[in-house]
Structure 1
Amino acid sequence: MPQVPKWLADTMIAVASPWLRQAVVSDTTMLSDELKLITFKGDFDDEDFLPGKIVQFRVDDTSFRHYTLSSFNKQQGLCTVLFYLHGKGPGSQWATNLQIGQEVRFRAGQGKLKYNEQGKHHFFFGDETAIGLFNWYKTTALACSHEYFGVLELHPQHAVALNTLKIMIDYVHASPEAPAVNAISWMEDMHPDCWNTWQRATFYLAGRALSISRFRKYLLQKGVEASQIRTDAYWADGKRGL
């Protein structure tokens, strides 16, 4: 429910008030010109945010937006969200204006992508909107002595975020006209010995709907089982608020 009439949004907030989390912006960091990492501090003693968890903010009078957490520290009462400030909607404008000391309220919910704790190998595919999710998955993989790998479709100026967050995966240039094509070419260049290991991984595909669809089709053609592939489309061309 990305957008509703103001009266309904007010009613939803009033009804959900007892379950809403309160937090304050404690830090903001620009990882690139359009990637803003925001740290929220609150009382999360009774909350167990698991990798893949989402939070929902009311970003204006009529709009709600979901974001995936990038990290969570229960002991310190901190969680982070990485916002992609592409400037094309109310969520981007709202996140751009968030400042240290500002109070926010949000609702936590289960995301579609869940980390496979039984898997030993984890492969990430997505774009700028998925970097936050994969940052937490990276932290989880290292804590579990698992291996992770992957490729993202990025605009070159945003690749610096991978280094800052120490996400050791590769990237290819995003091509709006050819979704997933560069990533598939990257996969085709993978050494056969490497693919023998990673074809048994759990694959997490997040971000642009069309890129996900094409990359999933490619994986199936390569012999990856459908049960190994987990997907969540964050956005689609011509649509708002997925």
Structure 2
Amino acid sequence: MPSLPKWINDTVESVLSSKFKECTVTDIESITADLRRIRFSTDLQDVEFEPAYAIGIRINDRDYRNYSPFNFNKDSGTFDVLFHMHDPVAAGSHFISSLTIGDSLKILMPRGKRFFDPDAAIHFSIGDETSLGSSLSIKEAVEGPAQQFICLHELNDSSALEALNLYGYHIPKNNTIDIIEALTDFLKEEKQAIDNNNVVFYLTGNGTTMSLIKRFLKAKGISSQCIRSQAYWLEGKKGL
């Protein structure tokens, strides 16, 4: 989200007050050295939610950042967010690291385009650290023995996948060749499902990597309707 003058952000919060909720931090857990899970509590009964929707958190007077919630529970009034603490001096990381249990903040409630396809037989989520929340929300939405969830993540520390029960492909950071090799193996193994358009690929995270994967999948004959994409960040671009 772009930086805006304080008065504009203040006006947005006032005019669109129904889109915001006062949320309380109820739990904080360090998943790895640079991944932090925070649980928020508020009244969610009137909030619509779909996998890979994004919440907005105002990290200072001028800036908001988008994050993907998971464990979204209307009955308990709670949801979790995974924060990638990639740079201690970055505005987003600095703000999140300052939160403590009991803190209260206004959060722009989940919104976004429809991303998840409930009719797919195989759901394949691909991304990096910033994609873990959306992968978890997609995994939670996959129901029944006739559906399958698979994920592939670029991570410096793969222990996060075990801690989050996100078992799947793990690729070291900045290794596109390994990503292509893993996808090539998958396309061979699931050829029938691919041919029947029963696999949906969800591409999130680094916009540059995501574009490369999208081009590769299309070159392999994957239908555009089976590829869902949403860039979360680009190198050198602040606040995507």
TM-score (norm 1): 0.91
Q: Which amino acid in structure 2 is aligned with residue 163 of structure 1?
A: E
Equivalent residue runs for 1:150-189 within 5 Å:
150-155=151-156, 157=157, 159-175=158-174, 180-189=176-185
Q: Secondary structure at the match of 2:25?
A: strand
Q: Which moved more, 1:61-70 or 1:201-210?
A: 61-70
The residue number in structure 2 matching 1:140 is 141
The 1:74/1:216 distance shift into structure 2, 3 A limit, reads same
In the alignment of these two chains, the number of paired residues is 237
Which of 229, 233, 236 is the equivalent residue of 1:235? 233
Equivalent residue runs for 1:189-204 within 5 Å:
189-190=185-186, 192-198=188-194, 200=197, 201-204=199-202
Question: Distance between the aligned counterparts of 1:27 and 1:146, measured in 2?
Answer: 32
- Consecutive unaligned residues of structure 2, counting only runs of 5 or more, are none
Q: Which amino acid in structure 2 is aligned with residue 72 of structure 1?
A: F
- Cα RMSD (Å) of the superposition? 1.8
Q: CA deviation at 1:188?
A: 2.8
Question: Distance between the aligned counterparts of 1:45 and 1:188, measured in 2?
Answer: 43
Q: Which amino acid in structure 1 is aligned with residue 117 of structure 2?
A: N
Q: Secondary structure at the match of 2:16?
A: helix
The 1:96/1:195 distance shift into structure 2, 3 A limit, reads farther
Q: CA deviation at 1:65?
A: 0.9
Q: Which moved more, 1:39-48 or 1:135-144?
A: 135-144
Question: Distance between the aligned counterparts of 1:79 and 1:15, measured in 2?
Answer: 25
Question: Distance between the aligned counterparts of 1:192 and 1:20, measured in 2?
Answer: 46
Decide whether the 8 Å contact of 1:113 with 1:230 is kept in 2.
Answer: no
Decide whether the 8 Å contact of 2:171 with 2:179 is kept in 1.
Answer: yes
Question: Distance between the aligned counterparts of 2:231 and 2:187, measured in 1?
Answer: 29
Q: CA deviation at 1:114?
A: 1.6
Equivalent residue runs for 1:8-19 within 5 Å:
8-19=8-19
- Consecutive unaligned residues of structure 1, counting only runs of 5 or more, are none
CA distances 1:199-226 after superposition (whole Å, capped 9, x unpaired) = 6301100000010000001101111011
Question: Distance between the aligned counterparts of 1:24 and 1:42, measured in 2?
Answer: 7
Q: Which moved more, 1:181-190 or 1:207-216?
A: 181-190
Question: Distance between the aligned counterparts of 2:193 and 2:187, measured in 1?
Answer: 10
Decide whether the 8 Å contact of 1:24 with 1:42 is kept in 2.
Answer: yes
Question: Distance between the aligned counterparts of 2:114 and 2:131, measured in 1?
Answer: 11
The residue number in structure 1 matching 2:219 is 221
The residue number in structure 2 matching 1:75 is 75
Equivalent residue runs for 1:10-49 within 5 Å:
10-49=10-49
Decide whether the 8 Å contact of 1:54 with 1:67 is kept in 2.
Answer: yes
The residue number in structure 1 matching 2:63 is 63
Question: Distance between the aligned counterparts of 2:162 and 2:28, measured in 1?
Answer: 18
Question: Distance between the aligned counterparts of 1:161 and 1:198, measured in 2?
Answer: 29
